[in-house]
Structure 1
Amino acid sequence: MLIERDAEAVARGIAKLQAIFDGAVKRGKLTPEQAAARLAGVTGTTEYAALAGVDLVIEAVFEEIGVKRAVFAELGRVCRADAVLATNTSYLDPRLIAAGVPNPRRFLGLHFFSPANVMKLLEIVPVPDTAPAVLATGFALARLLGKIPVEAGICEGFIGNRILKRYRAAAEGLVRRGVAIAAVDAAMRAHGFAMGPFEAQDLGGLDIAFLQREGARQAGQAVPETLGDVLVRAGRKGQKTGGGWYDYAPGERRPQPSPAVAGLLSSQLAAAAPMAPEAIAQHLVGEMAAEGRAILHEGIARAPADIDLVEIHGYGYPRWRGGPMFETRDRG
């Protein structure tokens, strides 16, 4: 069951599912008959009342707490009293989202990673009121979907996005010190990542994290200006706008060093200071591990292995290195 805000959004959602199933057929993962059966099993509507008999609902709307609360107000009105209600939030405090939900024991966070049909990780985030049976339902759902579940405590970004935030900040810190953007990305590719931090931001869009920082600023939080903010304010949001940290020729995805970026950031960067690739990777992995240790100390993660699972299956950490906690286990 797919609920959207209007008929056009429903049509787009069904079309995206069609494209996913068609791709699976082309790759030999599904037969045409299996794909057609799966698509036929999806109903799209704008009416919340269609959810009256369901066992589980996962909200996945825009990361704005007012929007999410409005959705859960409707879910609380139409769903069964024992239906499990979950949020897919990646950053927001699920306790605040759940405020006012009838029977809050049935509420929890289920953070899927994009694209959800591909990525194996599922962060499961209970709130203090979450009933043990509801938490167990989250793990059972992960098994049913072939996901790797990791329980996470509540903090901004949970486990994975909190570490990602520090990783990106540390990468920007190297650039401020005079290390070239392309050198940072090349070092992390050499370490085993499919992309470096700046290439990955260009692919996903710089505006996503920018909007989260802007939301925090508007809420009165002291959030320092990042180099990424400078680029977004200049209209550089990544590949989708033809430029982010790099320039992209029309129709091309190959990153090219950007004179425009050099000009926009020149006042905030030190003189060029080359750094060995191994030293870059060691520094950034060390920053990730340091945030992981803080997460463990705060009880957000249960064990170092949980953090490594999150990084490998949610963020493309090279699995043969074991994850940042395993890789730095001898550094102290």
Structure 2
Amino acid sequence: MAQLSESVTLDREGDVAVITIDNPPVNALSWHVRQGLADGFAQAVEGGASAIVLICAGRTFIAGADISEFGQKPQGPSLHDTQLAMENAPVPVIAAIHGTALGGGLEVALCAHYRVALDSSKFGLPEVNLGLLPGAGGTQRLPRLVGVPKALDMMTSGRHIGAAEALGDGLIDEMVEGDHDALRNAALAFAARAVANNMPLAKVRDRDEKVAEARGNEQLFADFRATIARKTRGFLAPEYNVRCVEAAANLPFDEGLQVEAELFRELVTGSQSAAQRYYFFAERAANKIPDVPKDTPLVDIQRVGVLGAGTMGGGIAMNFANIGIPVTIVERDLESLDRGLGVVRKNYERSRSTTAEQVEQRMSLLTGSTDKADFADCDLVIEAVFEDMELKKSVFAELDQICKPGAIMASNTSFLDIDEIASATSRPESVIGMHFFSPANVMKLLEVIRGEQTSASVIATAMALGKQIKKVAVLSRVCPGFIGNRILAQRRFEADRLILEGATPEQVDRVLYDFGLPMGPFAMMDLAGLDIGWKAETSKGSTVRDILCESGRRGQKNGRGYYTYDPETRAATPDPEVVAMIREFAISKGYEQREVTDQEVLERCLYPMINEGAKILDEGVAIRGSDVDVVWVNGYGWPVYRGGPMFWADSVGLPEVVAKIREYGERLDGDHWELSPLMEKLATEGGQLHQFSN
């Protein structure tokens, strides 16, 4: 066996050369992998091999590019040169695939003459998730194997397909059952047949029949763009991927490669991909807790209890049933319990990804009760009751008497003080906040709130559970509203004030929607219901919301809120009557009416959020600036192509943001305009919020 580089070896099985990549953990295409491959193909041919098998050690085939090399000085041969050595080899090259062949890994496999894969393998071009397109020929080769419609779907969604689907689509030539040894043997046998039967050196680049089907068919591409328009709003990469596939259909291969290279260059040097690549690492960093070592023992969670079968409680329970953990759900009465479990069943039945068998299996894991004593055998109990401190404390005092020693007691509170809640128990070290976002079975974010006395084991368990139930968990310390809602409150305050000064709800919502957020604050309030927390008997008409509720407006639920809503489509229409009501109310409160620019709307809604994020970092509530961004991308729909509020502030320029905050602070009242000392310091010293770490 010859060691070609630190990660690539060359071996022989009779006349067949076997090139093996061993670059843990995912065999990324680092420079030494590319060097080893280029040398390996050359030496195999020079050594008289009749065929070449490319295989990977470890748990996967090549899972993609080495992202850490992006923006670094190039070393070793380019990926393009390595692919040419493979594609132009004068003997058959067989790629043996297990685990995942993703991104650059699949692009390498597409340069083999044949592909053999384990039945458990996955294939995909997920570059779109990093704001990119496959830049090593993938946009031109994939459509030639699987056809244009399938290539469009895979490249703009980044989704993976399994081996059976890949075989049916023509992406692979043979599927193998068994383990890694079975794959190696099958690939060697395939190589022997290729030689014995004089099989052609089938270059994907030369295939034309599947792309010819879409040649000149502009409507196919127009229709596809329409189907993804809503989901990909604001993103550049999906559209650039579509353009590349159009080139594959309509241009010769080499000209299509040029289109791919030009569009890739534009994306990789652009702001969107920089933001998305940053976010990729930010999400992974959120799991790292400096004072909680990796080897911290975890609480073994075999059964979970959920107090409350309402919207939140039912959604929380679904997360655990989805991964096979039994859940005890307790409600105050049988009617509420049955209603809640009925909603859970309907949620499962409406899910396209859940089979009828899975619905029954997951529902069988949910045990309903009206007695909190049934939490006695639970390892984790999560309360999801009304946001009232005295109620929460009374609940935790009861749980303290019921839960077994070592059990974790968690609150789903979105705002309240975890330390005060924990004070109602004799074991504050076992109390933690687990703030799920609504709907809890869908939203990815889980804010984990550590109290002053929460143990390292409880923190580590909550964070690990978040990952287990497919959430993105971010740790916060105690403060009103924690990370997400504390920042949101600043935007809400300024949005409310802007409509008193002359902006309309539609203008504020449009500006934030155009920025990339899923909806503005007034559309969001209509969706949630204007009357949440509002009572007619105590309303004093002191806010815009009061006067809207007093006039019978409840939001989407009755078709009238800040907007009017079509009863069939729920489409929102700005309501001149609401604008008039707001203006009359504002004048009565002494607000001078004026024209407000879109830029002012954007700055006054977003800059206080940035300022509050900096204060959160300065106080040590969040561990790092990137954690704030992860919260806002996953919990509030901040566009990932802008990286998060901390990253976006740095891209605007902290000195500019600081100057604007000072300017607004001189004419507007409110604590949220008091400049964060941390942001002022970073702006002066050339630091960045998204890189700040406590």
TM-score over 0.5 for the pair: yes
SS of the residue corresponding to residue 446 of structure 2 reads strand
The alpha-carbon distance between structure 1 residues 246 and 226, as it changes in their structure 2 partners (threshold 3 A), is same
Between the aligned residues of both structures, percent identity stands at 40
Equivalent of 1:320 in 630, 641, 649: 641
Which residue in the other structure is 1:14 paired with?
341
Which residue in the other structure is 2:671 paired with?
none
Tell me by how many angstroms 1:209 deviates: 6.2
Tell me by how many angstroms 1:105 deviates: 0.9
Which residue in the other structure is 1:222 paired with?
none
Larger RCO of the pair (alpha carbons < 8 Å, separation 6+): 1
In structure 1, C-alpha distance between the alignment counterparts of 2:362 and 2:517, rounded to whole Å: 34
Q: Which runs of 4+ in 1 moved over 6 A?
A: none
SS of the residue corresponding to residue 152 of structure 1 reads strand
Tell me by how many angstroms 1:252 deviates: 4.8
Which residue in the other structure is 1:220 paired with?
none
Which residue in the other structure is 1:303 paired with?
624
1:331 aligned partner, one-letter code = L
Tell me by how many angstroms 1:52 deviates: 0.8
1:57 aligned partner, one-letter code = V
1:70 equivalenced with 2:397 (yes/no): no
Which residue in the other structure is 1:146 paired with?
470
Which residue in the other structure is 2:151 paired with?
none
Unaligned 5+ segments in structure 2 are 1-327, 656-694
Which residue in the other structure is 2:586 paired with?
268
In structure 1, C-alpha distance between the alignment counterparts of 2:531 and 2:494, rounded to whole Å: 19
SS of the residue corresponding to residue 206 of structure 1 reads coil
2:350 aligned partner, one-letter code = G
How is 1:221-232 mapped onto 2 (pairs within 5 angstroms)? 226-232=543-549
Which residue in the other structure is 1:160 paired with?
484
SS of the residue corresponding to residue 302 of structure 1 reads coil
Which residue in the other structure is 2:558 paired with?
241
1:171 aligned partner, one-letter code = A
In structure 1, C-alpha distance between the alignment counterparts of 2:340 and 2:416, rounded to whole Å: 24
Which has the larger displacement, 252-261 or 97-106? 252-261
Q: Is the CA contact (8 Å cut-off) linking 1:81 and 1:102 kept in structure 2? A: no
Which residue in the other structure is 2:383 paired with?
59
In structure 2, C-alpha distance between the alignment counterparts of 1:12 and 1:251, rounded to whole Å: 26
Could you give the per-residue CA deviations for residues 177-233 of structure 1, whole angstroms, max 9, x where no partner exists?
A: 21111111111111111211110111012334658xx9xxxxxxxxxx543344334
SS of the residue corresponding to residue 122 of structure 1 reads strand
The alpha-carbon distance between structure 1 residues 297 and 188, as it changes in their structure 2 partners (threshold 3 A), is same
In structure 2, C-alpha distance between the alignment counterparts of 1:166 and 1:209, rounded to whole Å: 19
1:168 aligned partner, one-letter code = R
Which residue in the other structure is 1:218 paired with?
none
SS of the residue corresponding to residue 496 of structure 2 reads helix
Which residue in the other structure is 1:194 paired with?
518
In structure 2, C-alpha distance between the alignment counterparts of 1:229 and 1:308, rounded to whole Å: 33
SS of the residue corresponding to residue 410 of structure 2 reads strand
Q: Which has the larger radius of gyration?
A: 2
In structure 2, C-alpha distance between the alignment counterparts of 1:291 and 1:144, rounded to whole Å: 31
Which has the larger displacement, 279-288 or 183-192? 279-288
Which residue in the other structure is 2:460 paired with?
136
Which has the larger displacement, 276-285 or 63-72? 276-285
Tell me by how many angstroms 1:290 deviates: 1.2
In structure 2, C-alpha distance between the alignment counterparts of 1:192 and 1:252, rounded to whole Å: 23
Which residue in the other structure is 1:221 paired with?
none
SS of the residue corresponding to residue 201 of structure 1 reads helix
State the TM-score, normalizing by the size of structure 2: 0.44
In structure 1, C-alpha distance between the alignment counterparts of 2:574 and 2:385, rounded to whole Å: 35
1:10 aligned partner, one-letter code = L
State the TM-score, normalizing by the size of structure 1: 0.89
The alpha-carbon distance between structure 1 residues 150 and 4, as it changes in their structure 2 partners (threshold 3 A), is same
Q: Is the CA contact (8 Å cut-off) linking 1:180 and 1:274 kept in structure 2? A: no
Could you give the per-residue CA deviations for residues 279-299 of structure 1, whole angstroms, max 9, x where no partner exists?
A: 422432222111111111222
In structure 1, C-alpha distance between the alignment counterparts of 2:399 and 2:478, rounded to whole Å: 23
Which residue in the other structure is 1:293 paired with?
614
The alpha-carbon distance between structure 1 residues 86 and 253, as it changes in their structure 2 partners (threshold 3 A), is same
